[in-house]
Amino acid sequence: MSYGARMSEPDDISPDAGGDAEGETHGAPGARPVVRLKPRAGRRFFAGAPWVYQDELVLDRRTRKIPPGSVAELQDAERRPLGLVAVNLESGIAGRLLDRDPQAEIDGAWLRGRIARALALRERLFEAPFYRLVHAEADGLPGLIVDRFGDACVMQPNAAWADARADEIAQALREVAGVGTVMLNAGSRARGLEGLQGETRLLSGALDGPVEVSMNGAVYLADLVGGQKTGLYFDQRPNHAFVARLCRGARVLDVFSHVGGFALAALAGGAASALAVDGSEPALALASEGAKRSGFGERFSARRADAFDALGELGEAGERFDVVICDPPAFAPAKSALQNGLRAYARIARLAAGVTAPGGYLTLCSCSHAADPAAFRAACVRGIEQAGREAQLLRFGEAGPDHPEHPGLPETSYLKALTFRLDG
């Protein structure tokens, strides 16, 4: 496993389901399919969540024949319309809300409208066109992720409805955002949960190599074809910026660095040196090239290694760093993995605290939606205490504003970044 791969974002959520009674579903001939909630089902939906779980629906013979990705009218138990949902009975999330208006047409104009709304927010937030353009449910396009890299977009259609309309979505991106290149990335874990397969492929335009992305004073290189996820993690941008403020004159260690992550931002912030540790040689090669293009290649070094092994070896060698950052993959991508994941986070915290200099700064990150902020914080504190260190918690960071949270889905608040000052 490449420890640079951060595997969990809101598109990777594994739902818990609930429901009760039986019934039948009927739709008028020639009309949209209809799916109906069982009596007393859909509590989260009525509280604002845009999901309906499989065992909350009446599953008669007609409903079971609805092809994955179809648009259906959702009705309550009394057959009153609630809106339009994208149906996939092969997924635990059987219905994803597309529109509260049951008369809406989910067509090209509808897609362009949703993308235009998402684009307006990002253009207000950022001067340069490098950001997450579409963040799934929070942007009214459930299961769809789109990251923008200048004239190119990488889309992850992680729900059946979006996968079936990939070409139409690509066309809408070209028309609304004015991009020339659209890449479809089919490598997400979430696609398996939806019963989807497929290959990463170019839908339009051309790519002749990694794309340069300027963030926080550094140049990053994003591999849109073979890189992890969409090629770069825009979500950490504000956390990179905060940590960089702590790095003037510092010796920095960036573990699970991917393509330079915190290390390049730290060097841009005036760090004396930065060592990037990752399990992926291609990612570290991009990080090294990014450091060179940023003008501080001589202060950057890379080490390909297992993160746990590297931290242990550095600690045994007596190495100490002024600033240490660990941004690992999702140790708890689902609730079934939570306890093992929390133990892994505590272990990382213990090892990282062991190589942090007295008075130094330690940032620990989690992208596991299953580990809520309180549980993650407790695991980090436990690990720091096991290392015999005392700590001040300086900051709790989250994803940037181009990764908005759906108010009805706390699961979409997945990224956590805790920065401590360590004494002793």
> Which residues form the catalytic set?
367
Q: Could you give the CA distance from residue 277 to residue 263 in angstroms, rounded to a whole number?
A: 10
Q: Could you give the CA distance from residue 106 to residue 192 in angstroms, rounded to a whole number?
A: 24
Structure tokens at 115: 């993308």
Integer angstrom CA distances of residue 321 from 248, 255, 291, 417: 13, 12, 19, 19
Contact 158, 143 (CB under 8 A): yes
Residues 6+ apart with CB under 8 A from 191: 156, 157, 158, 163, 197, 198
Helix (H) or strand (E) holding 356: strand 356-366
Tell me the three state secondary structure of residue 239.
helix
Angle between helices 373-386 and 338-354 (to 10 degrees): 40
Q: Could you give the CA distance from residue 409 to residue 412 in angstroms, rounded to a whole number?
A: 6
Comparing C-alpha atoms, which of 265, 208, 259 is closest to residue 229?
259
CA 238 to chain centre: 15
Q: Report phi then psi at 299, rounded to 5.
A: -100, 0
Contacts 24+ apart (CB under 8 A), 127-135: 128/214, 129/177, 130/213, 130/214, 130/215, 130/234, 131/234, 131/402, 132/234, 132/235, 132/400, 132/402, 132/403, 133/173, 133/177, 133/402, 135/10, 135/402, 135/403, 135/404, 135/412
Q: Regarding beta strands 273-278 and 300-304, do their DSSP bridges make them parallel or antiparallel, or are they unpaired?
A: parallel
Residue with token string 């028309």: 175
